[in-house]
Amino acid sequence: MKRKFHFDLSTTQVIMLSFFFAIMIGSVLLALPISSAAGESVSYIDALFMSTTAICVTGLVTLPTITTWSIFGQVIILILIQIGGLGVVTIISALMITFHQKIGIKDRVLIQDAFNLNTLSGLVKFIKKVIMGTLVIEGVGALLYMIIFIPKFGAKGIWISIFNSISAFCNAGIDIISENSLCEYTLNPIINIVTCALIILGGIGFVVWWDVIRVLKNIRKQKLKCFRNLTLHSKIAIWTTVILIVLGTIAVFVFEYNNPLTIKSYSLLEKIEVSFFQSVTTRTAGFATIPQQNLTNASAITCLLLMFIGGSPVGTAGGAKTVTFAVLIAFMIATIKNKNEVVLFNRDIEKQTLSKAVAVVSMSFIIMFLSTVLLAAVTDADALDIFYESVSATATVGLTRNLTPSLNIWGKIIIILTMFLGRIGPISLAIAFNTRKERQNIIKNPTEKISVG
């Protein structure tokens, strides 16, 4: 009698494997000669790197996107970016809805875990709104980009505008404009405003969109009290995002004010414009209007913190997330004040949320630290450049101090793994590999005090 093997994968394992297989398929397609602008296959490690950075919406590239890949290759990259930004589960669910396939309870649980939602109700409607909202925003972004790119590139400017809009919204930071990102458009107001708007809208989180729209519909009744009617999640995400962007802008402005390699020669308003873009792009977007290797050490270190925090949950951005950071700050303040409750906007934060926030930041830091150490072991680059690269990969940002193109094969493998771990999320990865089910102990272990700090 033959024994049948039954694999019962958890939703977290399905999500992890879906990203893995999407990367593998993308790498095979990009390794084909038709994907190369030269008509010859690029090395598989570079194809794998490109597929990973696209799916993980990171933006670090070992080869220039504009000169390396053919139109076919660029289309594959753009599809991977869109899949990575929305998530494989979202794309599959959208296709099922399009072809009128039934969304079962297992599929709903999968969607719930993919978006880290608290309820199973209204998930199909949620997916529809996410897809429609994404297409509208990316479409408007592309039309606005065309104002600049069509006069400069002709008909090709349409494709460039579409590519850049999707990449910006998905916080991917990959472009087909030039080899130095958006440095040619440092002071172009349209490029700056549109790109920043797309980055923020993608990174703020889909849940926040609908919450803000819900409140705005009743703005006449609520008048100035509309912000109070937002959910706690939206309040934290919006306020933390605004505070970090403003503080980041001020920091870059101050630290780069007299830097001749960046903004010293610019007017006051131009300095503010460049500083603002630099602060926004660290939300895990990866576009650059000034070379990152030209930043002062103080600015670079500030950007490291902003990159590590990243965007908001349930969006296209990576990082430890703004809400996680805000919860930890509130937890720290409550501990210092010797308070038992952690409060944000007059609401108590659950203990489980606090524990998860600590775990996310701790494991993200461990991944970042190991990546930095391993990368330092296989390269002779400057320590700050290595650290910048590792944080950028862990938080799926894509900013680099020009280290990525010079990575050897071991360096590329390290960054590929770091990007994958950063995109999947450290907690999700730990849960995926934890197949043992713990039984609830009735008998509790004795408690004993220890000293910390």
pTM over 0.85, yes/no: yes
Half-sphere exposure of 173 (CA within 13 A, CB side): 33
DSSP 8-state assignment for residue 36: B
Query: Distance (Å, rounded) from C-alpha 267 to C-alpha 276?
Result: 14
Q: How many CB atoms lie within 10 A of CB 117?
A: 18
Q: What is the pLDDT at residue 11?
A: 65
Query: Distance (Å, rounded) from C-alpha 287 to C-alpha 243?
Result: 21
The alpha carbon of residue 199 and the mean position of all alpha carbons in its chain are separated, in whole angstroms, by: 10
Average pLDDT over residues 293-318: 93
Check if the beta carbon of residue 141 is closer than 8 Å to that of residue 197: yes
Average pLDDT over residues 106-114: 64
Q: What is the pLDDT at residue 284?
A: 87
Alpha-carbon Rg of the chain, whole angstroms? 22
Nearest residue to 252 via CA among 304, 202, 203? 304
Q: What is the pLDDT at residue 5?
A: 45
| Phi/psi of residue 101, nearest 5 degrees | -90, 145
| 436 pLDDT higher than 60 | no
Check if the beta carbon of residue 279 is closer than 8 Å to that of residue 289: no
| 327 pLDDT higher than 60 | yes
- Structural element, H or E, at residue 328: helix 322-336
| 143 pLDDT higher than 70 | yes
Check if the beta carbon of residue 419 is closer than 8 Å to that of residue 411: no
Check if the beta carbon of residue 54 is closer than 8 Å to that of residue 124: no
Query: Distance (Å, rounded) from C-alpha 139 to C-alpha 157?
Result: 14
342 against 116, higher pLDDT: 342
Average pLDDT over residues 296-321: 92
What's the token pair of residue 352? Answer: 């489980």
Q: What is the pLDDT at residue 221?
A: 61
| 126 pLDDT higher than 50 | yes
Least confident residue range of 207-211, 270-274, 376-380: 207-211
Query: Distance (Å, rounded) from C-alpha 143 to C-alpha 163?
Result: 11
Query: Distance (Å, rounded) from C-alpha 128 to C-alpha 437?
Result: 35
Q: What is the pLDDT at residue 267?
A: 96
Question: What mean pLDDT value characterizes the chain?
Answer: 87
Q: What is the pLDDT at residue 96?
A: 72
Grade residue 254 by pLDDT with cuts at 50, 70 and 90.
very high
Full DSSP string of 111-138: HHHHHT-S-STTHHHHHHHHHHHHHHHH
| 433 pLDDT higher than 60 | no
| 10 pLDDT higher than 80 | no
Nearest residue to 57 via CA among 424, 407, 387? 424
pLDDT in tens, 391-417: 999 999 999 999 999 999 999 999 999
Q: What is the pLDDT at residue 326?
A: 95
Nearest residue to 416 via CA among 24, 28, 18? 24
pLDDT in tens, 62-108: 999 999 999 999 999 999 999 988 877 677 777 777 766 676 666 66
Average pLDDT over residues 334-343: 91
